[in-house]
Amino acid sequence: MRRTRLTGEQAALFPDWRYHAFVTNQTGPVTVVDQEHRHHAVVELAIRDLKEGTGVSHMPSGHFSANGAWLAAAVLAHNLARWTQIIGDPNTSTPINTTATFRSRIVSIPGRLVNRAGQITLRLPTRWPWAHRYVRILTNLRALPQLC
């Protein structure tokens, strides 16, 4: 059993402790077993995000090689989305926790490219709620040094 104090907005409503219980047959110090349990939960969340966010749960074919190619593309897309958020928006107070949310808010841009006197500009909608975050991510990614 692990006991943690509630923090943030929930602490104002419930100024108590939160209890986390887990049952295991592992031997060893409780702190090590608890750390392994929490690490396993992080891995499970990543697998769930891979299934729901990039379509691994719907393999397109009954052929092994086609599904292998689909899985490789899905893992690549998942990693690109996660790294884009980590590198492009590292100091955010509200991280986007799932790939599906990141894709729907940042990648699927409801904008258009406009050519004005040879200068190509991306026009975002005026009331798009994630425009500032998109511009911040794009600016941070463009500021990275080029390797080639």
| Cβ–Cβ under 8 Å, residues 123 and 111 | yes
CB-based burial of residue 84 (10 Å sphere; 0-12 exposed, 13-18 middle, 19+ buried)? middle
pTM over 0.85? The answer is: no
**Cβ atoms within 10 Å, residue 69:** 13
Structure tokens, 139: 């600016």
| Cβ–Cβ under 8 Å, residues 138 and 88 | yes
Q: What is the pLDDT of residue 119?
A: 93
Q: What is the pLDDT of residue 11?
A: 64
**Residue 22 Cα distances to 2, 30, 44, 99, 129, angstroms:** 9, 11, 15, 28, 40
Name the nearest CA neighbour of 18 among 37, 29, 4.
4
Q: Which parts of the chain have pLDDT scores under 50?
A: none
Q: What is the pLDDT of residue 21?
A: 79
Q: What is the pLDDT of residue 15?
A: 65
**Cβ atoms within 10 Å, residue 106:** 19
Q: What is the pLDDT of residue 135?
A: 87
CB-based burial of residue 49 (10 Å sphere; 0-12 exposed, 13-18 middle, 19+ buried)? buried
